[in-house]
Structure 1
Amino acid sequence: MAYRDFVSLIHKSTTRDYLARVTERDKAEVAELAVQFDYDYWDGSRQTGYGGYNYDGRWRKVADAMVDIYGIKPGMRILDVGSGKGFLLHDFLEACPGVEVAGIDVSHYAIEHTMDTVKPFVQVSDAANLPFDDGYFDLVISINTLHNLYNFDLNAALKEIERVSRGSKYLCVEGYRNEREKVNLMYWQLTCRAFYTPQEWQFVFDQAGYVGDHEFIFFE
């Protein structure tokens, strides 16, 4: 298991007003909207989610780095657990023409609004019950998704990632290293169920038998 810095640069480039997230509108109200993972979360107000999640090419650098690090070649298979609107899958196709991609997301809205280039390869599904055969994928990734699961589903999802992978695995989840980062995370998050320190995350990984790579994003 290796620590990888794929997503941190994108995460750190975003400016966040933590206090506004809890003072401008009832945080519980907007969280109830966000956890539906429907329009409000993806394309509604910034208070309830992304504030409009549109393709801008920012994930291409992540796709390029993963293709290089994991030795992805045409014909290999990649699964994105929590694929959203398919932006990273699209960038994988451009970064390595001939690669096979697949994605799952719990959000019907996200799947319906997935980019046309990868829409045939995605489906609504649950991370804890992946609809694929054992050892089917050369690379399985999950970015900013698994921390949205309760611990029993999180454990199952990690086991499922191990099951469907025959090669490399990578996930990125939210964490905190001190009280300030914990408070900022709690202020900012809308859908997170798992609040863990890096040490606790390692315990969770070990319990599930997850041996792939990982990355944490922190709210500094």
Structure 2
Amino acid sequence: MTNVNFVTQLHSNTKRDYLKRVTEYDKAECAAIAKKFGQDYWDGDRRYGYGGYRYDGRWLSVAEAMVKYYGLKPGDKILDVGCGKGYLLYEFTRVIPQIQVCGIDISQYGIEHAKEEIKPFLQVGNATDLPYADQSFDLVISLTTLHNLYNYDLYKALQEIERVGKNHKYVLVESYRNEQERVNLLYWQLTCETFYTPQEWEWFFQQAGYSGDYEYIYFE
């Protein structure tokens, strides 16, 4: 397992008003709505999630970095667990037009409103039971998805990612290194069921038999 950085810079560029999430809105109500992963979460008011998640090309640099780091080539297969609207997968097809992509997400709304070019390769499903054969993919990725699972389902999801990946695996998860980052994460998050310190995450990876790479994002 290697700690890599593909998304940290993109995450750091986003400005967040942590206090507004808990002083101006009913945080519990907002979280309950967000956890439906419907229109409000993706394209509703910012208090419920993304506040309008539209394609803007921001994921292209991430796809380029991953292609280079993992040495991906035409014909390779990529799976995104928790693909949302599929924007990152679309960027992979821009970097390597002959790459094969698959995506799975629990959100029916996210899949229905995915990038048209790759919508045929996406499906609704659960990270704990991936509908793919063993070692089907050259790269399996999962970005800011595993935190939505309770610890027992997180364990299953990591095992599933390990099972279907024959070469490279990468997960991006929320973490904290001090109390300020922990409080900021608690204020900001809407759908988190599990989040840990880096040391706890690494222990969890080992317990689940996950051998892939990982990246942490922090709420500074």
TM category, shorter = over 0.9
Query: 1:191 & 1:45 partners in 2: Cα distance?
Result: 15
Partners of 2:139 and 2:195 lie apart in 1 by: 26
4+ runs deviating over 2 angstroms: none
Matched residue, 1:188:
188
Partner of 1:71: 71
Deviations 1:33-53 (A, max 9, x none): 000000110000000100000
- What secondary structure, in the 3-state scheme, does the structure 2 residue paired with 1:216 have? strand
Tell me the equivalent position of 2:29.
29
- Structure 1 residues 78-97: Cα deviation after superposition (integer angstroms, max 9, x where no partner): 00000000100100000111
Superposition deviation, residue 195 in structure 1: 1.9
The equivalent of 1:166 in structure 2 is 166
Listed one character per residue, the Cα deviations across residues 81-116 of structure 1 (whole Å, up to 9, x for unaligned) are 000001001000001110000000000000000111
Q: Partner letter of residue 185 of structure 1? A: L
Matching of residues 109-148 of structure 1 within 5 Å: 109-148=109-148
2: distance between equivalents of 1:212 and 1:16?
30
Alpha-carbon RMSD across the aligned residues, in angstroms, is 0.4
Give the letter for the 2:184 counterpart: N
One-letter amino acid matched to 1:148: N
TM-score (norm 1): 0.99
Supply the AA of the counterpart residue of 2:201: W
Tell me the equivalent position of 1:203: 203
* Structure 2 alignment gaps of length 5 or more: none
Identical-residue share of aligned pairs (%): 61
Task: Give the number of equivalent residue pairs.
Answer: 220
5+ residue gaps, structure 1: none
Quote the residue 2:96 is aligned against: 96
Corresponding letter in the other structure for 1:146: L
SS of residue in 1 equivalent to 2:170: strand
CA distance in 1, matches of 2:24, 2:93: 40
Structure 2-normalised TM-score?
0.99
Distance of 1:169 and 1:152 partners within structure 2? 20
The alpha carbon displacement at 1:23 in A equals 1.1
For the residue of structure 1 that corresponds to 2:219, the secondary structure is: coil
Deviation of residue 25 (structure 1)?
Answer: 1.0
